[in-house]
Amino acid sequence: MSDRLFIFDTTLRDGEQVPGCQLNTVEKIQVAKALEALGVDVIEAGFPISSPGDFKSVVEISKAVTWPTICALTRAVQKDIDVAAEALKYAKRGRIHTGIGTSDPHIMYKFNSNREEIIERAVAATKYAKKFAEDVEFYCEDAGRTENEYLARVVEAVIKAGATVVNIPDTTGYCLPDEYGAKIKYLMEHVDGVHKAILSTHCHNDLGMATANTVQGVLNGARQVEVTINGIGERAGNTSLEEIAMIFKSHKECGITTNINTTKIYGISRMVSSLMNMPVQPNKAIVGRNAFAHSSGIHQDGVLKNVTTYEIIDPKEVGIDDNAIVLTARSGRAALKHRLHVLGIDLTQEKLDQVYEDFLKLADKKKEITDDDVLVLAGADRSQNHHIKMEYLQVTSGVGVRPVASLGLSIAGEKFEAASSGNGPVDAAIKALKQIIHRQMVLKEFTIQAISKGSDDVGKVHMQVEYDGHVYYGFGANTDIIAASVEAYIDAINKFVK
């Protein structure tokens, strides 16, 4: 068996299903190009029949990248497959990813069917997809809870029908690592013709075992892993690309190699976090802010004597370079352009000039600019076309005084002003906002995160606002956390269905 492990990235499909993480087509192309530079083998670009936006994204990503295989997801439905084939017509290497649920709960309750009929539908979908693409992947949804003997029958049938890859998802994240590894081993040993196809893992993190399950799947014969940047994905997320890449790079005794250029991991991690407005938890393996930080005195002493005492990975291996160019108010356009390029963003001269002006304003407030600051600045123009914009905000707050906020908004070019007091400066500012925007809105979630550690840092604010039975997601970033909070609220309001 080959020791080459194929990396199938589903950040733009499974990862983008996370509420509040939707990207436009331009942003998806930006991520796709970064994934290509990272070295992923397969990019799952979307679910074409689900929306015109997803269809367009698959088309445009197919045009934009060169060597990775572009994959489109479908159900085991002819219309889905027709639409996917149409979306993939510009792909240099296209793959149709079709499938159906195989566990008893899916068969009985989702499809109101039986095991034999599911096999017939699986074979029919595979054969139909094969008419449009030589490369066909079949997913056995909820394989983690599918009885092994029946699962082997399904896998054998779709391989005979022409599937080149068979995906064995732990859709609910329920399996234990030993159990999932044993499932892959069973298939390797009991499926006639299994070596004519590649078995793939697709593990969810509901019980925190996605990476462990994926590793066990690989060690037992799977040779494709379906992963996302930062482990994003539905519910608790998917297996993290960076964790799998660094596990097998660190454990060379496993004999597993990938095509990943690990020095680009940190840059794309920050890019995805910024574009999807989804912070990376500080203690996240490989890419978290604290992944290479040491606060314990014993640890610090050990690292100073020899870095290998507590660090198994050189930070430079994942693209964290302590000697990187430090951006300050004295930095020129060339330095900013270089840092953006390192982070996977190439701007037109006109856009670079706009970002540079904002960069100088921020640099005057901060001692130095971080990579996350740069990414926020590069994406800040997304608010320029908003219907509602903040003109000014003035807040009076302190100990022993009642917080008061004065706010000015521009709504379709018309100016509005309001003032209000509140329990705190943010509360006062939002109450002033609500005096202008007369809608029944409920703030469901409010998260503040500093990008790095300084008191002069840019603060990121994420909000969930409920309106008319729907939840909308807003994002703001500013060195003034009160301003960032109002920006996030306005961002959510601008997304309300008119």
Q: Decide if 368 contacts 327 (C-beta within 8 A).
A: yes
Helix axes of 265-275 and 241-250: crossing angle, nearest 10 degrees? 170
**What is the model's pLDDT at position 294?**
43
Residue 461: predicted pLDDT? 87
Residue 214 has pLDDT above 60, yes or no: yes
Rounded CA separation 254/215 (Å)? 10
* DSSP three-state, residue 405: strand
What does the pLDDT average to over 58-80? Answer: 97
Residue 322 has pLDDT above 90, yes or no: no
Least confident range from 37-46, 182-191, 208-217, 455-464: namely: 455-464
Please give the model's pTM, rounded to 2 decimal places. Answer: 0.76
**Could you say which DSSP state residue 280 is in?**
P
**Residue 128 exposed, middle or buried by CB count within 10 Å (0-12, 13-18, 19+):** buried
What's the whole-number average pLDDT of the chain? 89
Q: What is the pLDDT averaged over residues 182-189?
A: 98
pLDDT at residue 296 greater than cutoff 70: no
Residue 442 reports pLDDT greater than 70:
yes
Percent of the chain whose predicted confidence (pLDDT) is above 70: 91
Integer Cα distance of 11 and 278 in angstroms: 13
Task: Indicate whether 292 pLDDT > 80.
Answer: no
Q: How many angstroms separate the CA atoms of 399 and 5, rounded?
A: 59
Among 59-73, 134-148, 176-190, 381-395, where is mean pLDDT lowest? 381-395
Nearest CA to 230 out of 268, 200, 174, 175 is that of 268
At residue 298, the pLDDT reads: 47
Band (pLDDT 50/70/90 cuts) for residue 222 is very high
Of residues 304 and 197, more confidently modeled: 197
State residue 323's pLDDT score.
44
Taking residues 361-375, what's their average pLDDT? 76
Tell me 357's DSSP state: H
421 in Cβ contact with 404 (< 8 Å): yes
**Over 90: is that where the pLDDT of 444 sits?**
no
